[in-house]
Structure 1
Amino acid sequence: MKTSLGSVAVRTDASQTDGRRARSETSRAKIVAAMLDLVGKGDIAPSAARVAETAGVGLRSVFRHFDDMDALYREMSQAIEAQVLPMTLKPLTGTTWRERLLEIIERRVLVFETILPFRISANIKRFQSEFLMQDYRRMLRLERTSLEAILPAHVRADIPLVDAINVPLSFQTWRLLRHDQELSIVDARAVVVRLVEAVLAQIPD
């Protein structure tokens, strides 16, 4: 069976293209992993040189991939969501809405603490990124809707009251307590519980 030089050239070109694509994807994965590692360790705005060093790739490769920041942030967001999704999907076990509300506090402490450095990093960049701004707004909606889902109708009908409950349960409050005020996890949690309980004390059963 004869093989033409043309078909060999086509297969060679395809193989080279596949190889370049695989190397590009590997390089991109290394960059995303390096970003996650650096941000997770507290470097919330790592330089391209730092990312390149951690990823073990050339600086040019980082700049090439960083030209599409939204795609990179999207990959980082997907990796973080995959980590916290099991926490958020776990069913609440409280028999009353008040018990379930206190459960939400414990759950959000775990989730917010896990995502803390990444969300701080995203907040710095969200005014320069359409994806991060949309993701930020999506998170606000999720916080609100997950809270409203456990509240009885007479509480949901009082919008300022829902707002009063939602504020201490928000990521922004957790960031304020942990990052700005530098409270420990235990102390920050105690503040959130105190704030929520103060609101609950004003709500008749």
Structure 2
Amino acid sequence: MDPQQPSSTTIRRPHEPYDNQEQHVRADRDASPAREDRMSTPIDGRTLRRSRNRDAVINALLELVREGKLNPGAAQIAERAGVSHRSVFRYFDDLNDLVRTAIRQDFLEAEPLIEIASMGEGTLDERAANLAQARVALYERVNGTALLARMRSNSLPDIADERVTVAMFYREQIRQQFADELDKSPQAARESIIDACLVLTSFDSFDIHRRTLGHDNDSIVASWATSLVALLSN
């Protein structure tokens, strides 16, 4: 999957330690300010522990994925996180919920890498190299998660939708980065050229270069920059 800029879809938050009804009962019973002070510490500690364990489960999945284990089971995730097997399903509805959350968190953390320095500035060669370098840096950062997202997008439609969203964002970046050249192209060909640039610098292309052709990142940047210039010079 091309690294996705997380959509505005709301991620389910963990439940509070006590449901609303129980909180009201406790509030009525423990109205004394002194009692409230004494009770606040264990409640806060329980909430903090739950939050830390939930983060540990997310990070465990991400670690396993980065190691190439794209379909770990709940037991494997729990062992890596240092929590019980049942805890995984206390924090998440199911493994799909965990996968969604982990993918979005990782892409959100990598979001600054989506930006292209000096957008639209410089010679064609410089702009092509800048875009190629930015994409390769991003794909290197989210490589494992992008593979997971691509693999799971058929069964998780919201992840598939987010891939489309980010692809459209990338198209607009290409349009801005190479506006001078695109403006000189026949209007009928303009969108096709943008699509070709998008596919050329996609995560799928990166993955072929890395795993099929055995290219390192510098070679990928050079190949993409050369190809972009060739596409946009005609």
Task: Return the TM-score normalized by structure 2.
Answer: 0.70
Partners of 1:149 and 1:156 in 2: CA distance: 17
Q: How far does residue 90 in structure 1 lie from its aligned partner after superposition?
A: 5.5
Pick from 110, 131, 140 the counterpart of residue 113 of structure 1.
Answer: 140
What are the residue-to-residue correspondences of 1:166-205 with 2, within 5 Å? 166-201=198-233, 203=234
Q: Highest relative contact order (Cα 8 Å, sep 6+), 1 or 2?
A: 2
RMSD: 2.9
Answer with 21-30 or 183-192: which moved more.
183-192
1:133-144 paired onto structure 2 within 5 Å: 133-144=160-171
Is 2:97 the counterpart of 1:67? no
CA shift, 1:15, in A, is: 6.2
**What count of residue pairs does the alignment treat as equivalent?**
197
Shift of 1:61: 1.0
Pairing 1:102–2:129 present = yes
| Structure 2, unpaired ranges of 5+ | 1-27
Q: Which amino acid aligns with 1:112?
A: Y
Instruction: Return the TM-score normalized by structure 1.
Output: 0.79
Matched, 1:124 2:156: no
In 1, Cα distance between the equivalents of 2:133 and 2:88? Answer: 38
Measure the CA separation in 2 of the matches of 1:60 and 1:181.
42
In structure 2, distance between residues paired with 1:174 and 1:147: 17
Partner of 1:26: 52
Matched, 1:7 2:22: no
State how far apart, in whole Å, the 2-side matches of 1:112 and 1:156 are: 32
* Alignment check: 8 A CA contact 2:132 2:224 kept: yes
Structure 1 position 8, deviation (Å) = 6.5
SS in structure 1 of the partner of residue 72 of structure 2: coil
Do the aligned partners of residues 36 and 14 (structure 1) sit closer, same or farther apart at CA in structure 2, a change above 3 Å counting?
same
Ranges in structure 1 where 5+ consecutive residues have no aligned partner? none
Where does residue 69 of structure 2 map in the other structure? Answer: 43
Q: Name the SS for the 1:28 alignment partner.
A: helix
Measured after TM superposition, the shift of residue 156 of structure 1 is 8.4
Deviations 1:60-119 (A, max 9, x none): 11133342534652354234332x333333532742355323210111111111111110
Measure the CA separation in 2 of the matches of 1:57 and 1:125: 25
Which protein has the bigger helix share? 1
Letter aligned with residue 219 of structure 2: D
Evaluate the alpha carbon distance shift between residue 106 and residue 195 of structure 1 in structure 2; reply closer, same or farther with a 3 A threshold.
Answer: same
2:116 is the counterpart of 1:86: no
SS in 1 for 2:200: coil
* CA-to-aligned-CA distance 1:112-137 (integer Å, 9 cap, x gap): 11111110011111222233122211
